[in-house]
Structure 1
Amino acid sequence: MIKGLRTAIYPAPDLQAARAWYADAFQTQPYFDEPFYVGFNIGGFELGLVPDAKPGTDGANPLWGVDDLAADVDRLLALGAKVLDPIADVGEGIRVAALADPFGNRIGLIQNPHFDPARVR
């Protein structure tokens, strides 16, 4: 049986610059930090950085949960992110946005009042 999301991996050709940016952006330090992979624990899920892949905004689009979408978008913009998709209300009180990190990766954000962390397996 497939379980819920465990890891979102982002290409980071400049691994140390990406490590520093993601530590600021996600307001946490990595728990695993090696030359081949940097791993952050984000609310029980993994954000991984790998140096041997090409950044881009096409492909998979994981969405990271936030409590205040507008505040987090503003904070990431101040750290050098760029807007890909502005904040949008997609119905039922759910709001989403997408930014590009300074390295060219898509960072999706979601404010979803219906998300129940107790249902994560």
Structure 2
Amino acid sequence: MLQGLRTIVYYVGDLEAAKEWYKKVFEIEPYFDEAYYVGYNIGGFELGLNPDDTGYSNGNHSITYWGVENIKSAFDRLASMDVDIHEQPNNVGGDVWVGSIFDPFGNVIGLIENPAFKLS
């Protein structure tokens, strides 16, 4: 049985650069920091950075959406970090908004503002 989102791993190639970039994005230090993997606990979910990107390209076909309270301010903050925009924030129904950017390593980072979703 599926239990919900637990971990997203981004394959980054340059682990030191990725570690610094994600520390800046999420404004936290990693809880696990080794040469083969760096892990961040973000609101009870894991963001993992793996330096071995040999089997991956910039064309993966999935987006993980990270919850935000205010998509405009969160998106503006990320966009100010000189990233490429994947999808401008847009309303996808009701009060739900999504948008996404590319990190410097080719991964798509999605943001979602969904006031109906509350962690229990």
Q: TM-score, normalised by structure 1?
A: 0.92
Shift of 1:96: 0.2
What is the match of residue 116 of structure 1?
A: 118
Shift of 1:55: 5.0
Contact 1:11 1:55 in 2 (8 A): no
What is the match of residue 18 of structure 1?
A: 18
Which of 47, 58, 75 is 2:77 aligned to? 75
2:2 maps to amino acid: I
SS in 2 for 1:19: helix
Q: TM-score, normalised by structure 2?
A: 0.93
What is the match of residue 87 of structure 2?
A: 85
Show the 5 A alignment for 1:40-119. Answer: 40-53=40-53, 54-118=56-120
- Give structure 1 regions of 4+ aligned residues with deviation exceeding 6 angstroms: none
Aligned counterparts of 2:83 and 2:117: Cα–Cα separation in 1 = 26
- Structure 1 residues 77 and 57, CA, compared in 2 at 3 Å: closer, same or farther? farther
Gaps of 5+ in 2: none
1:27 maps to amino acid: E
1:28 aligns with 2:13: no
Gaps of 5+ in 1: none
Of residues 14-23 and 56-65 in structure 1, the stretch that sits farther from structure 2 once superposed is 56-65
Number of matched residues? 118
- Structure 1 residues 57 and 66, CA, compared in 2 at 3 Å: closer, same or farther? farther
Aligned counterparts of 1:65 and 1:99: Cα–Cα separation in 2 = 14
